[in-house]
Amino acid sequence: MHLDAPRKCLDSARLSDTARAKMNVIGVVSMKGGVGKTTLTANLAAAFDRRGHRVAVVDMDPQNGLAWHFADDNRNLPGIIQSALQGKGIGEGWAVPHTGIRIFPYGRSEEHERLAFEDLLRSRPQGLAARVARLSKRFDIVLVDSPPGHSIYLQQVLQAAHHLLAVLLPDLASLATVNDMEEVVAQTQARRPELRCHYLINQFEAGDPLAADLVNMLVTRFGSRLLPMMIHRDESVPEALAVHRVVRSYAPNSQAGRDLDLLTTRLERMFER
């Protein structure tokens, strides 16, 4: 496959001082799978939208799962991968009806397309950052979801984001990944000191003594970098996903919905600094 044209297109935009100053791009990341990262991204988008923000959501996870939270029939639509390989950047995405949210899905793909796209990303380390910088001028908030662990996608997100939201579960498996995340963040901040990393505990089980002990350990390690609110484990979250809805529309008075409101308020305050 000839990649010269899409390479030029992906890297043609350059980060402007205005886009950098806005500081409104959040990369949602994790070194471990199954922490609820994509579900959190979708629900944050909905929470920002309810407060009147225009929100762009960029799915850089090959699982292409983010669109599932908003509609079943859009998962098969072309996405970022198809647009990039055709020399069209990340594409135009699609609007979530009756909201200010625009989704840029990864796109359903075959293995050869994914491998070609990853080669394209390796050849242009700033490719996503340039495109996201353009989005940050059009939208109030830009959320970028990434697959778990080390990957070319994570490297792209690290270059594009102003804030990282690193999602952890209160369990030993997540605790074991903390050093890896800290190393990646430190390496990136050496080149991009403006990048900020905030840790968030998801699926906290109230009354679980082990979870409480692990939270205390994380507080000691991260201090103010660990966000003071947690997203509690709540059955309304998977139930909402099963019917392609976000938590607040499915269960307005749920614990997870209230937690998400607190998190959204905190993130809004960060953008005001």
Phi, psi for 38 (deg, rounded to 5):
-70, -40
In the DSSP assignment, the letter for residue 13 is S
Residue 9 has pLDDT above 60, yes or no: no
Q: Is the model's pTM score more than 0.85? A: yes
| pLDDT per residue as tens digits for the range 132-141 | 999 999 999 9
Distance from C-alpha of 105 to C-alpha of 68, rounded to nearest angstrom: 10
- List the helix and strand counts (H, then E) for the chain: 13, 8
| pLDDT per residue as tens digits for the range 172-229 | 999 999 999 999 999 999 999 999 999 999 999 988 999 999 999 999 999 999 999 9
| pLDDT per residue as tens digits for the range 106-130 | 999 999 999 999 999 999 999 999 9
Helix (H, G, I), strand (E, B) or coil at 24: coil
pLDDT at 16: 37
Residue 147 has pLDDT above 70, yes or no: yes
Q: Band the pLDDT of 271: cuts 50, 70, 90.
A: confident
Q: Work out the angle at residue 64's Cα, subtended by the Cα atoms of residues 61 and 198, and round it to the nearest 5 degrees.
A: 40
Alpha helices in 97-243 (DSSP H): 111-123, 127-138, 152-160, 172-175, 178-191, 209-222, 236-242
pLDDT at 73: 66
